[in-house]
Structure formats: C-alpha cells, structure tokens
Amino acid sequence: MSSDGPRLRADARRNVEGIRTAALDVFRAHGLNSPLDEVARAAGVSKGTIYHRFGGRQGLIDAVVEELVAERILGIITAVRAIEDPVERFESYLRQIWLLQYDEPAANDVLLRALPGSEPIAALCEHASKVAGGFLGDAQATGAIRDDLTEEDVYLLIWERGIIARACDQQHRDGFVRSFEHTLRGLRAGS
C-alpha cells in the first residue's frame, strides 16, 4: 500500500501523511472542492508542498478517496444486499445513498461525478450504478415498482438529490428526508 518508488526523505514522508490526514478531515467536512490552502493549513505545511507531493487537487483526491468514500458506498451496498424483499432493498438503497449524500459532502461530490478524469472514482460510480440497476430490476420484477423506470432514471434521482444536498448546507435534514420520501412513493407502481 505504500511503495511509491525511490523512498522519500523523512520530512517528506511525514508531510505526505500529514497532508493525507488533513485532507481527509477537510474534505469530509466541506467536500472535495475545499480550498487547498485550507488543507495545507490544517496539515501545517505550505500550499506548494501539496502541489509538489500530489500534483494538485486531483492527485490529492485520488490519494484519499478510497479511505474517504469508497468504503462508505460499498458498505451501503453490502448492508442493503442482506435485505430480502426486493422492493425494500431497492428503496433502502436509495434512502441510504441519499442520506450519505446529505451527510458526507465528499461522498456526494463523488456520486455527482463532479470530478472528471479520476479513474478510481469512475470505477466506483460504475459499480454503484450497476448495483443500483440490479436492485431496480429485482424490485420491478415484483410488480411493485413502476416498470418504465430505467437505470438512468435512478442515476438522475441520485444526481438531483446530490445537488440538493449540496445546497442544504447542514440544515433541514428532515425536510430533505420528507421530500425524498415523496419521490420514493412516486416510483411505486399503480399511481
């Protein structure tokens, strides 16, 4: 997990770790678009060092995204898989993803695909979409979920919620939930 070629000098290694940690904190709190100066300050280094070590925001994100987000998303998938009823499984998946988007701005940024050109992120999104598609199919097979719903619709719903979550700015959590429950009801067959 930590073999990047030549071996760094002691201070450099220390800084890389410090920056990673700071980035985790800052990104978790304010999303992946936080000013890099803030990360630098939190790490007790200068901005230049981040550019030097990680090549800019994209590199920094790549370096922390796994720890920051992947496990949360994969955790949801795993947890939801255990639900037997396909409809409940599908709805639960959406609920959990939506809440994650609300609670973790960084996860939200990832799901919104707001980060062009990062391979691990793209892969993660791809996977999540496939999984969602599976859940959707199973749920539709029971007849309880509208069958004109597509995988793309599901992604759209997630995207929209993400945009909303981003604008909410840590308030109104119950309004957020209340409102996505309306949408969820609208996905059921026979309205």
Partner DNA sequence: AGGGTTCTTGACCATGACGTCAAGTAACGC
Partner DNA sequence: GCGTTACTTGACGTCATGGTCAAGAACCCT
Judged by CB under 8 A, does residue 145 bind its own copies? Answer: no
By CB under 7 A, the residues from 6 to 35 that bind DNA are 8-12, 14-15, 33, 35
177 binds its own copies (CB under 8 A): no
Q: Which is nearer to DNA, 48 or 186 (CB)?
A: 48
* Contact status: 136 vs its own copies (CB under 8 A): no
Distance of CA 50 to the CA centre of its chain: 23
Task: Tell me the window of 15-23, 33-41, 122-130, 182-190 that interacts with its own copies (CB under 8 A).
Answer: 182-190
- Give whichever of 13 and 185 is closer to its own copies, judged by the CB atom: 185
How would you label 138-153 residue by residue, b for 16+ Cβ within 10 Å and e otherwise? ebbeeebbeeebeeee
Among 21, 24, 25, 53, binds DNA (CB under 7 A): 53
Task: List Cβ neighbours of 83 (8 Å cut-off, separation of 6 or more).
Answer: 89, 92
In whole angstroms, give the CA distance from residue 114 to residue 159: 10
Helices within the chain (DSSP H only)? 10-30, 36-43, 47-54, 57-65, 71-81, 86-103, 105-111, 119-141, 151-168, 173-186
Q: Which of 74, 58, 60 is nearest to 111 (CA)?
A: 74
Partner whose footprint covers residue 187, from DNA, its own copies, none (CB < 5 to 8 Å by kind): its own copies
Among the listed residues 128, 119, 2, the one whose alpha carbon sits nearest the alpha carbon of residue 58: 119
From the list 46-54, 62-70, 96-104, 150-158, the region that binds DNA by CB under 7 A is: 46-54
Q: Which two tokens stand for residue 81?
A: 């898989």
Smallest separation, CB 40 to DNA (Å): 7
Choose among its own copies, DNA, none what residue 8 binds, the Cβ cut-off being 5 to 8 Å by kind.
Answer: DNA
The residues binding DNA (CB under 7 A) are 8-12, 14-15, 33, 35-37, 44-49, 51-53, 56-57
Contacts to its own copies by CB under 8 A: 153, 156-157, 160, 163-164, 167, 175, 178-179, 181-188, 191
